[in-house]
Amino acid sequence: MTNRLDPAMFKRTFSYEEYLEYVKELVSKGLTSGPEQSEKNTHLTKLNFQRLKRVFRTLQLTDKIIEITKNVQSEMFWVIIIESWCGDGSQNLPFMEAISRLTDKIRFQIILRDENLEIMDQFLTNGTRSIPKLICFDPNTYDVAGTWGPRPAGAIDLVKTLIKDPEVTKEMRGEAVQRWYLENKGEQLQSEMYSLIEEWDAELMGRKLTEVD
């Protein structure tokens, strides 16, 4: 993983509201983000647009994640890499947005993977361009504090198990993962983010103290 990002590498960025409008426009035109304009991806984009709205409307943040986020001391820049057809993204993105809204210390933006491969390729998962991928860095120096993604540990374990079954198709795996998200209700994601926010805050604060010394 890279230690510092070059701000010049970032192409188009979106706020959460801008991203929703972007996906809404794609749906209205029967399109999808990214270069592959397949029927499958356009269908997933339409499905994910509904998921994004539903998850954000119904999600509930835990007391723990609220407390630690509101007590963040360091300024953080969160950038999440995503595409409109990404099912994991539609489940996790609303939580990232809701958490970031708890404090003015966190700036949150969204970028598209295939427009930003120079960035994506610095944060591969087992050599693949798996998304969503959240990057946390210092908004002033662009020094990276850490990453999260592409999905919570429970969903990762589920996929690993299903891949071993030759009778389970990719589509069946996708449906199983979506059921996992519905049942888990963001609990594991928030648990993971609790630990990471604590870690990132300490890391960024430690760097500032070092600079002062």
Question: What is the percentage of the chain residues whose pLDDT exceeds 90?
Answer: 89
Enumerate the β-bridge partners of residue 134.
80, 148
Superfamily (CATH H level) for 7-212: Glutaredoxin (3.40.30.10)
**Residue 111: band (very low, low, confident or very high) from pLDDT cuts 50, 70, 90:** very high
More confident position, 172 or 1:
172
The identity of residue 139, as a single letter, is: P
pLDDT at 60: 97
Q: Does residue 75 carry a pLDDT above 90?
A: yes
Mean pLDDT of 161-187: 94
Report in angstroms the alpha-carbon separations of 211 from 111, 169, 204, 205. Answer: 30, 52, 11, 10
Q: Between these two residues, 93 and 9, which has the higher pLDDT value?
A: 93
Residue 106 CB coordination number (10 Å): 21
* Cα 98 to Cα 155: distance, rounded to the nearest angstrom: 21
pLDDT band at 209 (very low <50, low <70, confident <90, very high): low
Q: To 5 degrees, how large is the angle CA 20–CA 26–CA 32?
A: 110
2 pLDDT tier (thresholds 50, 70, 90):
low
On average, the pLDDT of the chain sits at 94
Task: Give the start-to-end residue ranges of the domains of the chain.
Answer: 7-212
pLDDT for the residue numbered 205 = 86
Whether the per-residue pLDDT at 213 is higher than 70: the answer is no
Structure confidence at residue 187 (pLDDT):
97
pLDDT at 22: 98
* CA dihedral sign of residues 140, 121, 172, 30: positive
For 135-144, write each residue's pLDDT tens digit: 999 999 999 9
Q: What percentage of the chain carries pLDDT values higher than 70? A: 96
pLDDT of 8-24, one tens digit each? 999 899 999 999 999 99
So what's the pLDDT on residue 14? Answer: 97
